[in-house]
Amino acid sequence: MKVGIIGAGNIGATIAQKLAAGGHAVKLANSRGPDTIRDLAHDLGVTAVSKEEAVNGVDAVILSIPFGGYSGMKDLFANVPAEVTVIDTSNYYPFRDGEIGEIDNGKPESVWVSEQIGRPVVKAWNAVLAQTLAEKGRPEGQSERIAIPVAGDDEEGKKLAMQLVSATGFDPVDAGTLAESWRQQPGTPAYCTELPADALASAIAEADKERAPSYREALIEEFMAGHGKLTHDDIVMRNRAVTAGRNS
């Protein structure tokens, strides 16, 4: 498959490396131009390109950029064929991205992203920590494989995204429509809790839309207060405890 990835941070670069290792043709872009990531791209086994090149001649585009960066991207997708699947990996954190009233009032993050870029997206890889993505992928069929939720309205696009999620070492779980993608946003039991497929499906169903923002804020405050002393496993376990309503 031909895949363009915009965003060369921890998530975007790791996805690029994993997909390239699986035989996919990957083009990688960032906001500063291909010359700034040529060494990284070489190490990952992908091709450094401009954003415009990343969306041209591909089957899928993966957007892995800071949430606030989506404003003003509509022109980039103006001539991208409708059949090209666009996948959003981002998450909204007001302290980092600035307050966005529509999302604070309940609009799902990836619905807002779709509006910013002028076309529907599939939401995937947002509910996994960078270290989880980099280190905990497993071959298909292994019993200890972690699952990742995937939400979207276009069934073919969602199917393609789920194939790519599996190629990165995780079991994809259908999380419903894009309007339901709030169920995998920060502050929900599906978000960064490293669950197998059956448990993740239950976590998606148990999500509480009203409480999720307060859980998100409580967790980020706790993690920031830890000053980097919390381990990866500490973060996963606190996500599980707080979002399941067991914050004690």
154 CB-near residues (< 8 Å, 6+ apart): 85, 120, 122
Q: What is the CATH number of domain 2-176?
A: 3.40.50.720
Instruction: Provide the residue-wise pLDDT of the chain in tens; the chain has 248 residues.
Output: 999 999 999 999 999 999 999 999 999 999 899 999 999 999 999 999 999 999 999 999 999 998 988 988 999 999 999 999 999 999 999 999 999 999 999 999 999 999 999 999 999 999 999 999 999 999 998 888 999 999 999 999 999 999 999 999 999 999 999 999 999 999 999 999 999 999 999 999 999 999 999 999 999 999 989 877 899 999 999 999 999 875 44
Q: How far apart, in whole angstroms, are the C-alpha atoms of residue 99 and residue 96? A: 9
Whether 239 and 193 have beta carbons less than 8 Å apart is answered as yes
Q: In this structure, how many other beta carbons lie within 10 angstroms of the beta carbon of residue 35?
A: 9
pLDDT value of residue 248: 42
Q: How far is CA 163 from CA 19, 33, 87, 130, 230, in A?
A: 11, 29, 12, 19, 33
Find the helix or strand (DSSP H, E) in which 60 lies: strand 60-63
Spans of all domains in the chain: 2-176
pLDDT value of residue 45: 97
Map residue 63 onto helix, strand or coil: strand
pLDDT value of residue 246: 58
**Cα radius of gyration rounded to whole Å, the chain:** 17
**What angle (nearest 5°) sits at the alpha carbon of residue 153, between those of residues 98 and 23?**
90
CB burial class (10 A; 0-12, 13-18, 19+) of residue 58? Answer: buried
**What angle (nearest 5°) sits at the alpha carbon of residue 122, between those of residues 131 and 49?**
70
pTM exceeds cut of 0.85:
yes
Q: How far apart, in whole angstroms, are the C-alpha atoms of residue 16 and residue 48? A: 11
